[in-house]
C-alpha cells in the first residue's frame, strides 16, 4: 500500500506532523506494509491549494496544510485560521462523516493537535514523543520564554527549526521527518546533514542581528528598520525585541527576492500591551495577517512606496 503524506513544507510543525502521521498510520491503521511518500506544500496566492495529481497514493493524507474537497483526500489535520479557500470547502468539511478529518484553529501546533486526536480516538501511544510535542507547540505558537531564547538559538529544537526553514532538499527533508519521530532532538541536531549547513545558517543569522543592530531605530515604543538595501531575504522576527526589549511594535522594510515587504509585529514580551489590530492595519494597504503580526507585499521596484507605508504605520503605532 502506498501512502502519500502532504505537509506544510520548510516548517518544523509541518515536518513533525508528517512524521507523526506516518508513525500513527503504520502502528494503528495499516494492515500490512505501507510505503510512505512525502510532499512538502507551499502557500500560493492563487490556484488550487492542492493540485489534484498530488493525491496519488492508495491513501492520501494532508497535515498542517489547507483543506481540499477532493474525494481522494482520506486523512486531514490542520490548525491554520486560513485553511478553507472557500465557504464551499468549509461546508464540505463540516459535512464529512469519515471520522478522519480534524480541524482546530485554536491549537498552537498541528503536531500536538494531531497527537492528542489520534491518541484519544485510535489509541496511538505518544509517550515517546513528548519532547517533540512540547517543542512543536513552542515553535509554532511562538511561545518562547524570552526574545533571547528565540534569537540565541541554543536549544537543539531551535537549531532544527532554523535548519528546516532553510532546507530545500527533498531527500534530506524525508530523512529529517523520519528522525523527528525516532530520535532525541539533540541527536538529530548533531547529525552532520543538519550540523554542517547550520554553521552557515547561524552565521547569516548573526550577520542579520548585526545589520538590525546598526539600522534599527526606536522611537516612542516603535522600532523601525529599513533593510531594503541589505542582502537579507529573511530575518528572525524576534531580533528587534532582543535588541529593544522596551519596544511595543516593530515595522520592517525588507526586500525578499522578487518583491518588497513591509512587516509589522508586536512584542510578544511587552512592557505595554498591544493596542492595535495589526491585521486590520495591514489590510488598509492590501496586506493581512493576525492581530499580533502582519505584512504587506509590494512589487520589487516599490521601495519608495514601501518606505511611505512604513512611515505611516510607524506614526499610527506611536499613538
Residues at the site binding Mn ion, with contacts judged by CB under 5 A: 13, 64, 110, 140
Query: From the CB of 257, what's the least distance to Mn ion, in Å?
Result: 23
Query: From the CB of 13, what's the least distance to Mn ion, in Å?
Result: 4
Query: From the CB of 271, what's the least distance to Mn ion, in Å?
Result: 29
For Mn ion, the closer of residues 52 and 291 by Cβ is: 291
The gap between the terminal CA atoms of the chain, to the nearest Å, is: 60
Q: How many CB atoms lie within 10 A of CB 300?
A: 11
Which residues of the chain form beta strands (DSSP E)?
2-8, 35-41, 59-63, 75-78, 101-103, 217-219, 222-226, 249-254, 259-266, 288-289, 293-299
Cα–Cα distance between 48 and 99 in angstroms, integer? 24
For Mn ion, the closer of residues 104 and 204 by Cβ is: 104
Query: From the CB of 141, what's the least distance to Mn ion, in Å?
Result: 9
For Mn ion, the closer of residues 163 and 242 by Cβ is: 163
Query: From the CB of 113, what's the least distance to Mn ion, in Å?
Result: 9
For Mn ion, the closer of residues 13 and 226 by Cβ is: 13
Q: How many CB atoms lie within 10 A of CB 186?
A: 13
For Mn ion, the closer of residues 9 and 211 by Cβ is: 9
Name the residue with the smallest CB distance to Mn ion: 13
Amino acid at each position: 500500500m502506498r501512502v502519500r503524506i502532504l505537509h506544510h513544507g520548510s516548517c518544523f510543525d509541518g515536518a513533525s506532523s508528517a512524521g507523526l502521521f506516518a508513525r500513527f498510520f503504520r502502528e494503528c491503521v495499516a494492515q500490512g506494509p505501507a510505503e510512505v511518500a512525502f510532499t512538502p506544500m507551499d502557500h500560493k496566492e492563487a490556484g488550487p491549494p492542492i493540485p489534484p495529481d498530488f493525491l496519488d497514493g492508495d491513501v492520501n493524507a494532508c497535515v498542517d496544510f489547507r483543506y481540499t474537497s477532493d474525494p481522494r483526500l482520506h486523512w486531514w489535520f490542520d490548525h491554520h485560521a486560513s485553511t478553507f479557500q472557500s465557504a464551499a470547502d468549509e461546508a464540505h468539511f463540516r459535512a464529512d462523516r469519515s471520522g478522519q478529518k480534524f480541524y482546530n484553529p485554536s491549537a498552537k501546533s498541528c503536531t500536538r493537535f494531531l497527537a492528542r486526536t489520534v491518541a484519544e480516538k485510535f489509541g496511538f501511544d505518544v509517550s515517546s514523543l513528548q519532547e517533540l510535542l512540547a517543542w512543536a507547540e513552542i515553535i509554532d505558537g511562538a511561545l518562547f520564554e524570552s526574545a533571547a531564547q528565540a534569537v540565541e538559538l541554543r536549544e537543539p529544537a531551535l537549531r532544527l527549526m532554523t535548519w528546516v526553514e532553510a532546507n530545500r532538499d527533498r531527500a534530506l527533508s524525508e530523512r529529517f521527518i523520519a528522525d523527528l519521530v525516532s530520535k532525541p532532538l539533540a541527536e538529530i541536531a548533531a547529525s552532520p546533514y543538519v550540523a554542517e549547513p547550520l554553521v552557515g545558517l547561524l552565521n547569516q543569522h548573526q550577520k542579520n542581528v548585526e545589520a538590525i543592530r546598526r539600522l534599527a531605530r526606536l522611537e516612542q515604543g516603535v522600532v523601525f528598520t529599513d533593510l531594503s538595501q541589505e542582502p537579507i531575504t529573511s530575518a528572525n522576527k524576534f531580533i528587534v525585541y532582543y535588541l529593544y526589549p522596551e519596544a511595543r511594535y516593530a515595522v520592517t522594510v525588507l526586500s525578499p527576492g522578487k518583491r518588497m515587504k513591509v512587516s509589522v509585529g508586536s512584542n510578544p514580551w511587552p512592557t505595554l500591551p498591544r493596542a492595535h489590530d495589526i491585521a486590520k492595519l495591514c489590510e488598509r494597504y492590501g496586506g493581512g495577517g493576525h492581530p499580533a503580526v502582519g505584512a504587506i507585499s509590494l512589487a520589487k521596484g516599490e521601495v519608495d512606496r514601501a518606505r511611505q507605508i512604513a512611515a505611516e504605520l510607524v506614526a499610527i503605532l506611536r499613538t
